[in-house]
Amino acid sequence: MAEAQTSERAVIRREKVGRVVSNKMDKTVVVAVDYLRPHPIYRKTVRQTHKFYAHDETNTCQIGDTVRIEETRPLSKLKRWRVIEVLGSKDQPIAPAVPADIVAPRVAQDNDEDEVQA
């Protein structure tokens, strides 16, 4: 009966996206994740950075890469995360969130206004 309960339980693993700040260890990378949070008193948006040790089985991550990490069982004293995928390399950044066709017409409109004023 106890076996049936454990098999039904779904494991929910948290995921985070960050950049690799160190890869000097074997099969381990340090991933920095940035958060924007309001200051509790002054309400100004403050950037906070947390560092996570993540397991990189193939040693493919380089410093500056953007990676997705997933929570996993404890692998060592500090490692509780593993690299799922490399989203963008240092040389090739992640694609912009806004499509180019949306940005391009706005630039064209700005140029038309300059011609009218001249």
Q: Report the C-alpha gap between 84 and 26 in whole angstroms.
A: 17
Amino acid at site 99: P
pLDDT tens for 5-22 read 556 678 889 999 999 999
**Which tens digits make up the pLDDT trace of 69-114?**
999 999 999 999 999 999 998 777 555 555 555 555 555 555 555 5
Helix and strand counts by DSSP (H, E) for the chain: 2, 5
Q: Which of 12, 54, 13 is nearest to 32 (CA)?
A: 54
Q: For residue 101, what pLDDT is reported?
A: 56
- d(C-alpha 92, C-alpha 94), whole Å: 7
Q: Which domains, ranges and CATH numbers included, belong to the chain?
A: 2-117 (2.40.50.140)
Q: Model's pTM, two decimal places?
A: 0.68
Gap between the Cα atoms of 72 and 96, Å rounded: 29
| Structure confidence at residue 110 (pLDDT) | 56
Q: How far is CA 24 from the centre of its chain?
A: 20
